[in-house]
Amino acid sequence: MERLKQELINNGYIITKESTKSVELVGKSTGEVFYLLPNKEITTVLNPKRVEESEKLMEQSSGLNHNTSFIKFPKRHNTGSDLIHYGYSFKFQSEDEAIIFLKSYVG
């Protein structure tokens, strides 16, 4: 994931917060926030409001992902009694595939 983070920085993205659960980045030109997850698969999470506006993104998404570290995203009820931040996840086979996707949807 270090190579991917560096590649994103080189392409104009800014890391705004990093934890063991996720890395928060912002698209420099758009100001749009997204998250990288430290999973075995390359996984990004986009704001649900952005995804729900696009039928194409909804079709490409791997589904909802709930995480307390997605602090810039809205909250909803999941399995617990409290609200939790959530977004739509997207999984990729390669770092290049993730970068191409992010350039086209996050800016």
What is the CATH classification number for the domain harbouring 78? 3.90.1150.40
Predicted TM-score of the model (pTM): 0.91
How high is the mean pLDDT of the chain?
92
The range of the structural domain enclosing residue 65 comes to 2-105
> What integer pLDDT is reported at residue 107 of this predicted model?
63
> What integer pLDDT is reported at residue 12 of this predicted model?
86
Tens of pLDDT, residue by residue over 22-68, are 999 998 888 899 999 988 899 999 999 999 999 999 999 999 999 99
Q: CA distances (Å), 53 to each of 18, 37, 80, in order?
A: 27, 23, 27
| Domain total in the chain | 1
